[in-house]
Structure 1
Amino acid sequence: MRRRIHIDLRAIRENSTRLLGSETASYADLRADAYGHGAVRVAEALDAEGYEGFIVSPEMDRASLLHLSTPLLHADAVNSDRITGGSLFGLTDRAYRPAMRVSAEILAVKDVEAGEGVSYGYSYVTPQRTQLALVGIGYAHGVVRRASNTAPVLIGEATRTIVGAISMDQFSVDLLGAPAQPGDLTILFGDPAAGEPSILDWQHATGIRAAAIASRMSPRFERSYT
C-alpha cells in the first residue's frame, strides 16, 4: 500500500528567500515538526540561509538539530512579527509555493448504480450510474474528516471530490467517467502549478487552516524529499 508525502525543499528555500528579502522575517518557524514537513530536514535545508534562529516546539528533542549552526529558540524569546510562520511552507496564500504533496493508492474501482449510498451515514448518494474509487487513506493517517463531500483530489488528469464520510483508513471518490484502476495514485493536494489541488483548496473546502491540515499528517506515510 502506497501512502506518500513528498516535501519540496526547493519550494521552501524559494519561499525563504522571498521572506528574508522582505526584511520582515528573521526567524524560521519549525514548530509542530515544521508544520508536518519534518523539522530536521527543513532545518538542514535552511541552515545556510542566514536566519537568526529556528523556532522549535518546547517538547522537541533538540539533540537532532545540534549539528546546525543556526540557534534553536522558543517563540516567546523573539518578536512574533519576525517569525516566518506558515508562509515558509506555502500555507498562507497563493503567493508562496506549497511544499507538501500527499498521495495514496487506489485500492479498488467498482461499478455502482444510481441511488446508492456511499460510506457510513450515506451522506452522499450516487446521482447516476457511475464508478467509485476506494482510496487507501483516512482519518487515522491525518486526513481531516471535514474533507468528506467537500475536498478535491486529482486522479489522473481529472479533479474530483471526496464523497461520503471519510473512514479510518479509506475514502471514496465518484469518478464521474474519469479513468482509474487499482494501483493508481490519488493526489490529495500538492502543487497547483502542476494542475494538482492545493492545500489552500482544502482549507477553503473544509474551513480548517492549511497549517493545521499539514501538521496532522501521520508519520505512517512514506516520505521523500528533493
Structure 2
Amino acid sequence: MNETPGRVYAEIDLAAVRANVRALRARAPRAELMAVVKADAYGHGAVPCARAALDAGATWLGTATPEEALALRAAGIGGRIMCWLWTPGGPWREAIEADVDVSVSGMWALDEVTTAARAAGRPARIQLKADTGLGRNGCQPADWAELVGAAAAAEAEGTVRVTGLWSHFACADEPGHPSIALQLHTFRDMLAYAEKEGLEPEVRHIANSPATLTLPDSHFDLVRCGLAVYGVSPAPELGTSAELGLRPAMTLKASVALTKTVPAGHGVSYGHHYVTDDETTLALIPAGYADGIPRHASDRGPVLVGGRVRRVAGRVAMDQFVVDLGPGAAVRAGDEAVLFGSGEHGEPTAEDWAQAAQTIAYEIVTRIGGRVPRVYRNG
C-alpha cells in the first residue's frame, strides 16, 4: 500500500532487504544464495521481499509449506523455489506442475511424489534431506541407503530428478558447539554415499543464516538465509545486526491514541500490576497481542515516544498497551510511537523486544499479525 495507515503499521524497507542479500552473498561468494521467505517472509511480506531478494542476486527462494511456494508462483514469481514441510496427501502434483523443488525425507514422501509425477506426466524435482543430528525432519543415516537407492531408481525411470541433497544445523547459532563439526562430518559422509550411488545433485546445502555468517566450510553449493535477509541478527552471540553488516528492514510504528494526566496511586491496565508513583502522563498505544505484541513483554517492552525510550506500563492487552511518560511530557494524540526498528535513530530493536519477552528476535518479527498493514519503501 502507498499511504501510511494511522493505528499501527509495519514499514518494510526493501532497499534493506536488497542490501542484506548482497552482504550475505559476499560472505559466501562461491555459493548460490536461497532467500527463505517462509512465514510471509518472517512477517515482512513474502511477495515483495522475494522480488527484492531476487533483484539483489538470490538465485533460489525457500518456503516451508507447499502452499507458500504455490502462492509465490500465483503471484508471477519465477525462478527456483524449494519447499520442505510436507505431510501425507499434500499437493504434490500441483507443486510438480508449478516447477517447485520438493524435499523428501522418507519413503512415504518418495512414494507420494513419484505417484504424483506419473499423474502429471513429468518428472518431479526432489531434494533428499538428511538428518545429520537436528532430530527433526530428514532421513536418518541408518535409513539413507534405502532412500537413496529408491530415489536413484526413480530417477533412472524418469519419474524424478534429484536436484539437491541437504540438511540443517541444530546449533550453528552457538559458535564452537561440538554438534556443528559432528553434523558436517555426517553430512559429508551421507553426500559421499549418495554420489557413489549415482546421484548428481545440482546443489548440496546445510548452511542457514548463522552458518553463512560464521562457518565458511559449511557453504557447499548453496546457503539458505532467512532471518538475516531481513537484517536481524540470528543470534546475539554472533553480534548485532550492525556488527554483522546487516540492516533491519522492519520498523513497527503506531500513533498515540490518547494521553492523559492521572494521579499518584493510579492502577494501569488489567490486574493493576503497575501503579503510578506520582502524578504522571500516560499514553495509550493502540497495538496489543492480537497484533503480535508479546504479552510476556508487559512492564518491560521498550517504545520510543516523545524523543525517549519508555517502557510498557502494566499488562499488554489484546489491542492496546500503555506507557508512562512521566510528568509534563509533551506528547499528544497522533504523535508517532516506534516500537522497534533498525536502532539507527535511537529506537528499540526487535532484539530489545526479544530480551524483554524472553524469546528470540525471530518470534518478534514473525508474530506481527495480519491486521497490521505493511507499508513498503524503496520498492
> Structure 1-normalised TM-score?
0.93
Listed as ranges, the matches of 1:156-175 within 5 Å are: 156-175=306-325
Aligned twin of 1:15: 20
Identity %: 37
Q: 1:114 to 1:19 in 2, by over 3 A?
A: same
Moved more, 140-149 or 86-95: 86-95
Q: Residue 138 of structure 1: which of 281, 288, 292 is its match?
A: 288
Aligned twin of 1:207: 358
Structure 1: state its 5+ residue gaps: none
Structure 2: state its 5+ residue gaps: 1-5, 85-102, 104-126, 128-165, 167-204, 208-222, 234-239
Q: Distance in 2 between matches of 1:61 and 1:27?
A: 13
Aligned twin of 2:78: 69
Cα deviation, residue 64, structure 1: 3.6
Q: CA RMSD in A?
A: 1.7
Contact kept in structure 1, 2:270 and 2:315, CA below 8 Å: yes
| Aligned-partner residue type, residue 128 of structure 1 | D
The structure with the largest helix share of the pair is 2
State the 4+ residue runs in structure 1 displaced beyond 6 angstroms.
Answer: none
| Aligned-partner residue type, residue 124 of structure 1 | Y
Aligned twin of 1:80: 206
Cα deviation, residue 57, structure 1: 2.4
How many pairs are equivalent?
226
Q: Distance in 1 between matches of 2:14 and 2:64?
A: 21
Contact kept in structure 1, 2:230 and 2:247, CA below 8 Å: yes
Q: Distance in 1 between matches of 2:206 and 2:272?
A: 45
> Structure 2-normalised TM-score?
0.57
Listed as ranges, the matches of 1:16-35 within 5 Å are: 16-23=21-28, 26-35=33-42
| Aligned-partner residue type, residue 85 of structure 1 | G
Contact kept in structure 1, 2:19 and 2:56, CA below 8 Å: no
Aligned twin of 2:217: none
Aligned twin of 2:55: 48
Q: Distance in 2 between matches of 1:46 and 1:130?
A: 47
Q: Distance in 1 between matches of 2:308 and 2:302?
A: 10
Cα deviation, residue 157, structure 1: 1.0
Moved more, 11-20 or 90-99: 90-99
Contact kept in structure 1, 2:22 and 2:57, CA below 8 Å: no
Moved more, 50-59 or 164-173: 50-59
Q: Distance in 2 between matches of 1:25 and 1:168?
A: 42
Cα deviation, residue 61, structure 1: 5.5
SS of equivalent residue, structure 1 residue 164 = coil
Contact kept in structure 1, 2:281 and 2:326, CA below 8 Å: yes
User: Residues 174-221 of structure 1, C-alpha deviation per residue, up to 9 Å, x if partnerless?
Assistant: 002432111112111012112211111111211121111111111212
Bigger radius of gyration, 1 or 2?
Answer: 2
Cα deviation, residue 70, structure 1: 2.6
Q: Distance in 1 between matches of 2:44 and 2:263?
A: 41
Cα deviation, residue 25, structure 1: 6.3
Q: Distance in 2 between matches of 1:65 and 1:41?
A: 13
Contact kept in structure 2, 1:40 and 1:65, CA below 8 Å: no
Contact kept in structure 2, 1:2 and 1:222, CA below 8 Å: no
SS of equivalent residue, structure 1 residue 40 = helix
| Aligned-partner residue type, residue 153 of structure 1 | V
User: Residues 69-105 of structure 1, C-alpha deviation per residue, up to 9 Å, x if partnerless?
Assistant: 3311024544231211211112223232111111112
